[in-house]
Amino acid sequence: MAYYLIPPEGNSPSVAPSLGRVKRGVGTSASAVNGATNGATKAPYPYHTDAEPNNPTVIPRDTLGKFHFTFLIRHPRSSIPSYYRCTVPPLDEVTGFYDFMPSEAGYEELRRLFDYLRSIGQTGPKVAGQFSDDHATANGTTNGITNGITNGVTNGITNGVTNGITNEAINGNINGASNGIAKGTANGTANGSIDGTAYGDMSVTTNGTTNGFKGEVEVCVVDADDLLDNPQGIVEAYCNSVGIEYTPDMLTWDTEEDGRQAKDAFEKWPGFHDDAMNSTDLKPRLHKKKVKTARDEDAEWAEKFGEKGAKVIRETVDASMEDYEYLKQFAIKA
């Protein structure tokens, strides 16, 4: 998730030594990263490496360029109490998380990464599922709308690129909403989870090349509530954006093999994905989630977590709203 790619507590970013360029040659006895050897003994952060201009992460730009990013967001009023629940009894004994840290909400870091990738042209300007005349190009007209998509090639991603694509969702939990695990297809092209995120999060699709796409890569943001209200529409729009052929069975994972796959994917995060682990499909919610008043939310959180817990949840939710609403405007429409 973006939170773990960006230095904590406002520290200036510098490239992680393990991801720097390794210098090799005659007479070298150790791998050197930006002038430092493997044997360097120094505190984990700040690193002794150089920073890249405007890059907010510890990952080099050329490494970031090997991924197609999908940003998974969830409303703070749902994600923050969900994460808080994982850090208090009885669930903390399962998750191993015993302290709730508001700084780990991650929305600010997610927005910074999002804006950086857009600023260097790795994503955008076109937004997945949102068509506008600003980005249309003449390639033929469908229903009178020229939309820049030709013969099933979306953003220059051909079907041949899909081989080996994995979609790994990092962390997160949709509280009984099945977490939208997309069932795997041939060659591992749709392995895994369009996951509802316990807090603002991202997933990445690797493609084996330097960014791997011959054309524009759309901005791809999935909002958990949209996914739960219209799973088929959102997953299909997502597949169209990243170049994966959509099939209805992506919304069902009821076989023993599916169960093993989910267990392998989530085993590092016990307790966070129990609802997804125990689900077999993703169906639309019968009723859209009712928006509660702040007073009702505070009362509910106080009942579940006590007054102190409710207070820190409210403060964290409020602090995250601006970044969430900013990212929400880019969410896939279906």
- Give residue-wise pLDDT tens across range 1-15: 788 899 887 788 889
Provide the strand spans (E) within 5-78.
22-23, 32-33, 36-37, 67-73
Peptide bond into 90 cis (omega under 30): yes
Judge contact between 195 and 133, C-beta under 8 A: no
Look at residue 204 and give its three-state secondary structure. Answer: strand
Give the separation between CA 108 and CA 79, rounded to whole angstroms: 14
DSSP code at position 73:
E
Structure tokens at 141: 């007209």
* 1-15, 105-119, 154-168, 216-230: range with lowest mean pLDDT: 154-168
Q: pTM of the prediction?
A: 0.71
The pLDDT of residue 288: 83
